[in-house]
Every structure is written in C-alpha cells, then in structure tokens.
C-alpha cells in the first residue's frame, strides 16, 4: 500500500541574484514499512526533498500525496494538524524539548493528539524500553548523551503511530557506536511497527542498512535501488 507519492516535484528558489533549481522532476512512491535512504552529495537537494515530503516546504510544481491527501491543497493550519497525525520527525540535532523529561518528550505528541493518559503511558514506556532507555525515563535531555537523545527523538517520532518517519541525517552528530545502536533500533522498530522510515544521509553505515537507496544529484533522482540485507 502506497503511503507517499511524489509526482514531478520541482523546487526552485528565486533569490534576487540567482535562481536555484534545488529539486527537479522527482517522482517517487513509498510503500508501507519501507526503510529508505536518500543519499547524495551536499547541495544535491536531500534536505529540500525531505522538507517537502514533511510538509515543511511546498514544491514549486508537482504533487505530493500522503495517504491520498495532496499537501498543496492544505491550508497552513491544516498542514500542522496533518503533520501531527501523519508524520514523525527525527532531526539531525535531536531537538528535544529541554525542560521535559525523556518520558514527557515522547508523550508530547500524544498529548497534543489528546490520547488518554493510560494509553499514553503504556505507549511511552514501551517505546522507551524499545530504544533501550527504560531506565532513563525521568532524565532530562541535558542528562543524556547525544545517542540517547536521538533515541528519545526516534521514540517521539513513532509515538503516535505516524504513516512514516522522516529523519534528516539522524546519525550525523553521533559516534559510530551510538550510530550503529540507533540504526539497529530504527530497523527493528520499522519491522515491528510497520512504519515507513525515510532518511537523508551521508553515512555509508546507514546506506548499507537501508532496504532502498535513492540517490540525488543536482536535484534529480539518478538511481533508485533496492538492497537485500
């Protein structure tokens, strides 16, 4: 079942002096429970593409459809609500809420979605155990290592069972051990939760573990390969 479809997506940035065609005629679709990496050199359009898929930026032309809904047809407020219910985000620099504990950070999205407390607690504890932080649920981000923070971010992204999770270079700030642990956790959750993961990366370890690798160059898709693990 298709969870996400891109049809002839283009993104052009018009500044005063120069016109940048960041993404060119990209057409892709993603099935449920995919584990896909978008790779390419710096400036190839990975982040721009991810931002558009996540509804944070709009394409100049083309269509992005998530679960049958065309993002271009949504108003700003509808888009925020759509993101809340359908997309999980993992950022390069973790971006947890510093005043909340690990548990509260994971709970946050569910609270916004008005989940009942008992279900919230059950899901939060389950996810934090799954990412190996069951003993740190009451720690604030400042008391956690970078790898641990990114694992909390993954748990947060999955909390409300989104259609897919977007991760922009999730291992960029992690050492190799922390990166490997994170990737293993992400892969396990992808398998167990049946949630699509799409991540941009430079990291060859991430690329090796991906089931599908989409390569961008100058904003174009130059290859789209499926890998067997």
Partner 1 sequence: MIWSIAWKNIWRNKKRSLVVIVAVSLGIIAGVFIIGFVEGWSKQRLDDAVYNEVSHIQIHNNEYLKNEETSLTIIDPGRISAILDTLGEVKSYVVRTKIIALAGTSWANTGVIIYGIDPGREKQVTRIHEKIVSGGGRYLDPAGSGDILISDKTAELLKIKQYIVTDSVIEKLRKDAVPAPVLEKLEAMKNIRFRSPADFRESLGSELARKEYDEYGNTISSEALEYRLRNKIQLTLSDREGNPVHAIFRVCGIYKTTNTGFDQMAVFVNAGELAELYGDEEILVHEVAVLLNNIDDAGKVRDRLIPLAEENSVRTWKELAPDAAFMNDFMVIYYFIFIGIIMLALAFGIINTMLMSVLERTKELGMLIAIGMNRRRVFTMIMLETVFLTAVGAAAGIFLGWAVTGFFGRTGIHMAGWGEGFEAIGFAATVYPIVTPEFIVFTAVMVVVTAILSSLWPARKALRLIPVEALRTE
Is 95 a residue that touches partner 1 (CB under 8 A)? Answer: yes
Among 43, 65, 91, 217, which residue sits at the site for partner 1 (rule: CB under 8 A)? 91
Binding mask 57-86 for partner 1 (x = CB under 8 A): x-------------------x--xx-xxx-
Say how far apart CA 216 and CA 209 lie, in whole Å.
Answer: 18
User: Beta strand 61-66 with 69-70: parallel, antiparallel or unpaired?
Assistant: antiparallel
In angstroms, the CA 4 to CA 215 distance is 18
How many residues touch partner 1 under the rule CB under 8 A: the total is 25
Among residues 37, 39, 66, 107, which is the contact residue for partner 1, using CB under 8 A?
A: 107
Name the residue among 124, 131, 165, 128 with its Cα closest to residue 32: 165
Say if residues 37 and 225 touch (Cβ distance below 8 Å).
Answer: no
**Nearer Cβ to partner 1, position 157 or 209?**
157
* Least distance between partner 1 and beta carbon 84 (Å): 3
- Smallest CA-to-CA distance from 215 within 3, 49, 13, 57 is with 49
By CB under 8 A, tell whether 98 contacts partner 1: yes
Cβ atoms of 38 and 46 closer than 8 Å: yes
Contact residues toward partner 1 (CB under 8 A) are 51, 54, 56-57, 77, 80-81, 83-85, 88-89, 91, 95, 97-100, 104, 107-109, 111-112, 156
């Amino acid at each position: 079942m298709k969870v996400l479809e891109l049809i002839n997506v283009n993104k052009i940035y018009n500044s005063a002096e120069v016109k940048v065609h960041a993404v060119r005629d990209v057409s892709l679709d993603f099935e449920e429970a995919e584990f896909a990496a978008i790779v390419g050199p710096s400036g190839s359009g990975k982040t721009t593409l991810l931002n558009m898929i996540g509804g944070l930026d709009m394409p100049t032309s083309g269509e992005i459809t998530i679960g049958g809904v065309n993002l271009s047809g949504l108003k700003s407020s509808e888009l925020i609500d759509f993101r809340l219910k359908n997309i999980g985000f993992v950022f390069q620099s973790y971006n947890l809420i510093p005043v909340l504990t690990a548990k509260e950070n994971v709970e946050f999205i569910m609270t916004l979605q008005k989940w009942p407390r008992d279900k919230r607690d059950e899901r939060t504890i389950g996810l934090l155990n799954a990412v190996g932080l069951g003993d740190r649920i009451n720690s604030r981000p400042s008391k956690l290592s970078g790898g641990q923070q990114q694992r909390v971010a993954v748990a947060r992204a999955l909390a409300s069972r989104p259609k897919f999770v977007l991760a922009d270079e999730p291992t960029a700030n992690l050492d190799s051990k922390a990166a490997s642990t994170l990737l293993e956790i992400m892969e396990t959750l992808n398998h167990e939760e049946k949630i699509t993961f799409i991540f941009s990366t430079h990291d060859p370890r991430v690329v090796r573990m991906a089931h599908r690798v989409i390569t961008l160059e100058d904003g174009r898709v130059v290859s789209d390969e499926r890998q067997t693990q």
